[in-house]
Structure formats: C-alpha cells, structure tokens
C-alpha cells in the first residue's frame, strides 16, 4: 500500500489531543458593505455558539464598497477552522484572514482608562502611564483618563498595573488588525 503523510495515525481519533486547547484568534473579515452584513456575521456566531471577545467594524475606504470586521474569538483549533470556513462561506464575504496565525499580522487596540487616586498613587499612575506611552486626555485633582494604544496584551498589562492605583473605568475599542508589508488583503 502506498504510504502517504496522512498514514501515521490509524484514525482521526488516534490523533493527539494537544491541539484541543482553546486559544484566542483574531479574524479579519473583509465584507461587502451592505445593510445587514454585520448581522450576518454576528448571527453566524450566535447561531453556531461561537464566542465573540471583541468586534470592530467600519468601512475601509469610500468607493471600495467594503467593510472590515475584526473579530476576536476563542476556540479549539477545529472550532477556529470551522469559524473561518463558515465566515468564508457567506456570500457577502470577500476575504477572511486569520491574523493570529499570520506572522505578518499586526493587532492594535485603543483603550481609555480612568484612574482615580491621590498622593503617591496618583504620581505613580502618571509615571507608569508615561512608560506605556499613553496620552493624558483628562486631568482632575483626583485622577486621570489615559489613552493607550497597543497590542491587546499591552493594554491588559497596563490595566493590571492601574488596578491597585485606583482603576475606576475602562473603555476599549476592540482589536483592529492589518498585515505588515506592501500587499493589500
């Protein structure tokens, strides 16, 4: 019998289960910009029981008739592959890109972080904010609002540092993504 690369496990069920851990993934979905298209995407996630961690959507540029939807979701490798295939299957979809698995994928998020504190905590929050290259967009006698951009992990880290210093409220945009290099998706 001819041996093929797929021969090694006797069955699909003998395959290792190491890839069954859940992971986060960011999908960039380029869709035709038409009424109801966001509902199609969101409805697909709801109907098939997929989780949406964050979602951003906007028209890409006037005239192209396209919107870019960036969705952060969570699932096993099989579920993520299924999400990608289901998104790709929609008639309104032009292109689906898994940014997470792409070494050229860039992800950025913007957050507004309100921190209330006095004395040493207040000074410390400002000092950390400078390290994270945030902008101060509002200053009161008892606190700041910082504007921070970066990869989601960086923002998580900043929020974690602010928590003991009087973190009051966080507003995040959700993830935006693009691929590095000259090519357009």
Partner 1 sequence: MTAHTQIKASQPAATAAEIMTGAEMVVRALVDQGVTDLFGYPGGAVLPIYDALFHEPRLRHVLVRHEQGATHAAEGYARSTGKCGVVLVTSGPGATNAVTGIVDALMDSIPLVVITGQVPTHLIGTDAFQECDTVGITRSCTKHNYLVKNIADLPRVMHEAFAIATSGRPGPVVIDIPKDVQFASGAYVGPAQARPLHNYQPRTEGEPAAIAQAAALIVGARRPLFYTGGGVINAGPAASASLRELAALTGAPVTSTLMGLGAFPAGDPAWLGLVGMHGTFEANNAMHDCDVMIAVGARFDDRVTGRLDAFSPGSKKIHIDIDPSSINKIVRADVGIIGDAGKVLTALIAACKRHRQGPDAKRLAPWREQIEAWRARDCLRYRPSTEVIKPQYAVERLYALTKDRDTYITTEVGQHQMWAAQFYQFQEPHRWMTSGGLGTMGYGLPAAVGVQIAHPKSLVIDIAGDASVQMTMQEMSTAIQYDLPIKIFILNNEWMGMVRQWQQLLHGERYSHSYSASMPDFVKMAEAFGAVGLRAHTPGELDAKIEEMIDTPLPVIFDCRVEREENCFPMIPSGKAHNDMLLGEDARDIGSVIDAGGRGLV
Residues found near partner 1 in the complex (CB under 8 A): 1-2, 4, 6-7, 10-13, 15, 32, 34-36, 39-40, 43-44, 47, 78, 81-82, 85-86, 88-92, 94
- Cα–Cα distance for residue pair 165/172, rounded to 1 Å: 19
Distance from the first to the final alpha carbon of the chain: 42
* Least CB distance to partner 1 at residue 7 (A): 8
Q: Which is nearer to partner 1, 4 or 140 (CB)?
A: 4
Task: Name the token pair of 17.
Answer: 């289960």
* Least CB distance to partner 1 at residue 29 (A): 14
* Axis-axis angle for helices 119-131, 152-162 (nearest 10): 170
Torsion of CA 173, 179, 183, 185, to 10 degrees: -60
* Least CB distance to partner 1 at residue 12 (A): 4
Q: Which is nearer to partner 1, 41 or 145 (CB)?
A: 41
Q: Which is nearer to partner 1, 33 or 125 (CB)?
A: 33
């Amino acid at each position: 019998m001819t041996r093929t690369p797929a021969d090694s496990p006797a069955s699909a069920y003998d395959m290792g289960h190491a890839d069954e851990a859940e992971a986060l993934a960011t999908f960039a979905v380029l869709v035709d910009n038409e009424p109801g298209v966001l509902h199609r995407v969101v409805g697909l996630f709801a109907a098939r029981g997929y989780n949406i961690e964050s979602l951003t959507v906007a028209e890409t540029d006037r005239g192209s008739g396209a919107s870019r939807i960036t969705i952060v979701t969570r699932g096993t490798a099989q579920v993520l592959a299924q999400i990608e295939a289901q998104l790709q299957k929609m008639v309104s979809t032009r292109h689906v890109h898994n940014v997470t698995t792409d070494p050229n994928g860039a992800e950025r998020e913007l957050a507004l972080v309100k921190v209330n504190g006095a004395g040493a905590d207040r000074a410390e929050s400002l000092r950390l904010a400078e390290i994270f290259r945030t902008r101060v967009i509002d200053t009161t006698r008892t606190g700041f609002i910082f504007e921070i951009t970066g990869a989601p992990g960086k923002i998580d880290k900043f929020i974690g540092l602010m928590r003991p210093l009087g973190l009051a409220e966080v507003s995040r945009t959700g993830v935006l993504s693009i691929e590095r290099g000259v090519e357009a998706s």
